[in-house]
Amino acid sequence: MASYLSSTKEEQQAMLSEIGLSSVEALFADLPESVCLSRDLELPPALSEMELTSYMRKLSQKNISLDDTRCFLGAGAYDHFIPSVVGNLTSRQEFYTAYTPYQPEISQGTLQAIFEFQSMICELTGMDIANASMYDGATALAEAVAMAASQTGRNEVLIANTVHPESREVLKTYAHYKGIAVKEIGYHNGSIDLDALAAACSDQTAAVIVQSPNFFGIIEDLGQAAEVTHQHKALLIASVDPISLAILKSPGELGADIVVGDGQCLGNPISFGGPGLGFMATSKKLMRKLPGRVVGQTTDVDGKRAFVLTLQTREQHIRRDKATSNICSNQALNALAATIYMTVLGKEGLKEVATLCLNKAHYLHDQLIQSGEFTPIFSAPFFKEFAVSSTGDTEALNNALLADQIIGGYVVEKSYPELKNGWLLAVTEKRTRLEMDSLVEKAVNHCD
């Protein structure tokens, strides 16, 4: 083990002498011999830098990169175009090496970046205040439920079955240990069954959770859901795709009380599933229940613009079960990427991206249906993602497409067993007409 430490043998011995030990093994004397490795690690001989670089390159070629494929897989992580300026700025050392801004007087740049992120999220969602440092969309949703239960004093939540399956699982894990009962509401034509929601909602309901666009890509009627929810003085939690908000009515306008989502689509790469960032926004009346970090704008003693962490203290995050939240990591670098992305695109650019996603998704949908090998599962309006039913096995279809460097859609049957041969496809602004036509051609040939 000692041979892999960067320190010299003399330095190691000096450190051991300082703590009164004679060997590295003595550090682990309290461990039972049965759990200790009594032989050398089975490692290959050392390589030179040139040899190691070549070896690692060969290993990396076993992976399939999005640079080498055309991706139509969404289901929560999306292959959007990321302007090069995003990576160039986030890799600056003042951002890249910074962590948690506990000392605001020396963290003004980091705090300002977070403040701008919060401001943009508020503008997109139509809410009064937003936070930062949610891990991802799923945990942001679970934190919103805890917040709603605390605010209402109730311990039951209703969640649409059309919310992302993984988000529902994360929520159930959180809820189990907080004593919150989670009840799922089914769907009709791909959207939450509003009649079932009205029947299930009661004076014991703390919150109703609806995702729009939902897991099937369908745009939910948040206005109707809000009306049913508020009749019982419960809170409506909306989980949203931030890019869709460039062309859709904001959830704040439609009556949502808390808005959450995942910001991966805003300038953050998929990166095998993470890291991403969650966001959360709410109204003024709920702001003191908001978890995570909140940056406020103020003035210093000289009257100059300054930024502070506000509404909560560090102690909140170390009070265990008495804390508002136990979220205490820092997703500021991912939030910075999202901030740069939204700044570079601006309102019109984000609207153009959303419009391209919408139009291209509908083009691909129509081409697949016209082929005769696919049929629509739902007829409700959708944004950039849609579900169709294949005449053949969708798992085999995906494997066949992958051989042609095409990443196909999500096998819906994995999460919704009742939807046999369901295929969920996502289309972002990156996909060209040629790529979409190629997908249709190869998919039809496989089905034939």
Q: pLDDT truncated to tens, each residue of the chain (448 aa)?
A: 444 557 888 998 999 999 999 998 898 899 998 998 888 889 888 899 999 999 999 998 888 889 889 999 999 999 999 999 999 999 988 888 777 776 767 788 889 999 999 999 999 999 999 998 889 999 999 999 999 999 999 999 999 999 999 999 999 999 998 999 999 999 999 999 999 999 999 999 999 999 999 999 999 999 999 999 999 999 999 999 999 999 999 999 999 999 999 999 999 999 888 888 999 999 999 998 888 888 999 998 899 999 988 886 555 556 666 677 767 677 889 999 999 999 999 999 999 999 999 999 999 999 999 999 999 999 999 999 999 999 989 999 999 999 999 999 999 999 999 999 999 999 999 999 999 999 999 999 988 7
Tell the CATH topology of 84-340: Aspartate Aminotransferase; domain 2 (3.40.640)
Contact 252, 126 (CB under 8 A): yes
- Angle value at C-alpha 435, between 211 and 62, nearest 5 degrees: 85
- List, in order, residues 6 or more apart from 336 with CB less than 8 Å away: 89, 90, 95, 113, 117
Q: Strand 187-188 to strand 374-376: parallel, antiparallel, or no bridges (unpaired)?
A: unpaired
At 345, which helix (H) or strand (E)?
helix 332-370
DSSP designation for 22: S
* Residues in Cβ contact with 208 at an 8 Å cutoff, skipping those fewer than 6 apart: 157, 158, 159, 160, 197, 201, 225, 228, 229, 234, 235, 236, 237
At 189 the pLDDT is 97
State the pLDDT at residue 209.
98
Q: Where in the chain is the domain with CATH 3.40.640.10?
A: 84-340
H/E stretch holding 113 reads: helix 108-125
Strand pairing partners for 386? 425
C-alpha 246/C-alpha 123 separation (Å) is 10
Closest C-alpha to 386, from 351, 407, 406, 357: 357
Q: What is the CATH number of domain 70-80+348-447?
A: 3.90.1150.10
Quote the pLDDT of residue 86: 97
| Per-residue pLDDT, 252 | 98
Q: Which amino acid is at 139?
A: T
Q: For position 1, what pLDDT does the model report?
A: 40
pLDDT reported for residue 319: 66
DSSP for residue 249: P
- Specify the DSSP element, H or E, that contains 143: helix 137-152
Q: Considering only CA atoms, which of 414, 415, 411, 364 is closest in space to residue 385?
A: 364
A 10 A CB-CB count for 98 gives 17
Q: Where in the chain is the domain with CATH 3.90.1150.10?
A: 70-80+348-447
Which DSSP state fits 293?
B
The whole-number pLDDT of residue 297 equals 93
Would you call 300 helix, strand, or coil by DSSP? coil
> What does the alpha-carbon distance between residue 364 and residue 385 come to, in Å, rounded to a whole number?
10
